[in-house]
Amino acid sequence: MTDQSIDRPTAGIIFICAGVAAISVNDVLIKYLSGGYPLHQMIFIRSVIALIFSFAFVRMEGGLRILRTDRPLLHLLRGALVVFANMTFYAAVAVLPLGQATALFFAAPLFITLLSIPLLGERVGLPRIAAVLVGFAGVLVMQRPWEGNLEQARWVLMLPVIAAALYALLQVLTRRLGVTSPASALAVYSQVTFLLFSTGFFLVAGDGRFAEGVENDSLRFLLRPWIWPPADDWPLFIATGVCSGVIGYCLSAAYRLAAAATIAPFEYIGLPLAFFWGFAIFGEIPLPSTAIGCALIIASGLFVFLREQRRGRPQPGRRRLWGRR
């Protein structure tokens, strides 16, 4: 929650816009590099660089002592959910238009609303249920079930939705179990989990043995062998790590400086940015079904959030919609 003694909405908006911009650049870099490197190698290099930033923030927030926790299993669960949300989202980004994948991930607030019923015991009235149904109608429109043959396999279109569901579960469980660690400590736990996962993936599949004969681009992105990046690609890898560090700091700063009701709607600038980068760099032109579905998802997500704020109850997990990064 925002510190009630701090109310700097302009600074908060600047930070959230900078953080979302860094997210969009990070997604572009991952998509650009996805044709030649496995995802787990990219995550490993990015996390090493981001961990340096995270420890710098730890020092600013109290030093190494803040890394102590009495709930290591909870942090391990959170880290695992973030890892798998990342994996499914970026496996989709490798083959789907960037704007479409990003829009589908914005179903996360809808999943959070649904999961809060069984896991948090919250009462969800008909207006919010209706908004959730509208949002999932948007997801369905983007899946184009009326088309028999799609350019992408149907399960690839589901990957960002699965990522959104995993992220929503992460946020609801975090609220249910309670996490009081500072943001920088949470960032360190997440980056360490990324490092452990990517190292384990390298030991099992880093030689590319499971990629042989695989034709699907998403699976190849997950299973291809590690290679040493040429000099031209190292600036791009370093940029992904810098973006990851900037994202963590900017989003945390934004929600410390201003109320969530002021800040959260600005996260949706990530969608036009995704469409812009997709067109400018990859030549992606959104289909009409993508535009319609995107509008339905945005409208329903904003309705759910604004209704929660009007009722005086913060939406679970809304503070970190972009926590998948």
Which of the residue ranges 5-14, 133-142, 208-217 would you say has the lowest mean pLDDT? 5-14
Q: Does residue 2 form part of some domain?
A: no
Question: What does the pLDDT read at residue 310?
Answer: 66
Q: Are 48 and 241 in contact (CB under 8 A)?
A: yes
Cα 55–chain centre separation:
21
Which residues have a Cβ under 8 Å from the Cβ of 83 and sit 6 or more positions away? 193, 194, 197
Query: Would you mind telling me the total number of residues written for the chain in this entry?
Result: 325
pLDDT attached to residue 2: 46
User: What share of the chain in percent tops pLDDT 70?
Assistant: 85
- Per-residue pLDDT, averaged over 38-62, amounts to 90
pLDDT value at position 316? 41
Q: pLDDT tens-digit profile of 110-128?
A: 888 888 888 777 777 888 8
DSSP per residue, 13-29: HHHHHHHHHHHHHHHHH
Q: Which residue has the higher pLDDT, 79 or 325?
A: 79
Q: 123 lies in a domain?
A: yes
What pLDDT, on a 0 to 100 scale, did the predictor assign at position 145? 67
What's the pLDDT at 287?
Answer: 86
Stretch 173-188: mean pLDDT, rounded? 72
**What's the average model confidence in pLDDT over 159-180?**
80
Mean pLDDT value of segment 69-88: 86
Report which DSSP code applies to 144: -
What pLDDT is attached to residue 4? 47
Instruction: Average the pLDDT over 206-230 and give the result.
Output: 90
| Number of folded domains that form the chain | 1
Please enumerate in sequence order all residues whose Cβ is within 8 A of that of 241, keeping only pairs 6 or more positions apart, or say none. 45, 46, 47, 48, 49, 50, 52, 53
* Residue 205 in this model has a pLDDT that exceeds 50: yes
- Could you tell me which residues come within 8 angstroms of residue 209 by beta carbon, excluding any fewer than 6 positions away? none
- Which residue did the predictor score with more confidence, 250 or 192? 192
Give pLDDT, residue 204: 93
Does residue 325 lie in a domain region? no
Q: According to the model, what pLDDT value does residue 309 have?
A: 65
pLDDT tens-digit map of 184-198: 787 888 889 999 999
Q: How far is CA 300 from the centre of its chain?
A: 19
Q: What is d(CA 52, CA 68) in angstroms, rounded to the nearest whole number?
A: 18
Q: What is the mean pLDDT of residues 32-38?
A: 92
Share of the chain above pLDDT 90, in %: 34
User: Is 140 within 8 Å of 296 (Cβ atoms)?
Assistant: no
Q: Does the pLDDT at position 318 exceed 80? A: no
Domain that holds residue 195: 9-320
Q: Is residue 19 part of a domain?
A: yes
Q: What is the pLDDT of residue 146?
A: 65
Distance CA 121, CA 42 (A): 39
37 within domain boundaries: yes
- For 84-99, what is each residue's pLDDT tens digit? 998 999 999 998 999 9
pLDDT of residue 199: 95
Question: What's the chain's average pLDDT?
Answer: 83
Integer CA distances (angstroms), 48 to 117, 192, 316, in order: 38, 9, 30
In this prediction, residue 323 carries a pLDDT of: 47
pLDDT per position as a tens digit, 251-294: 777 777 776 667 777 888 888 999 999 999 999 998 888 899 99
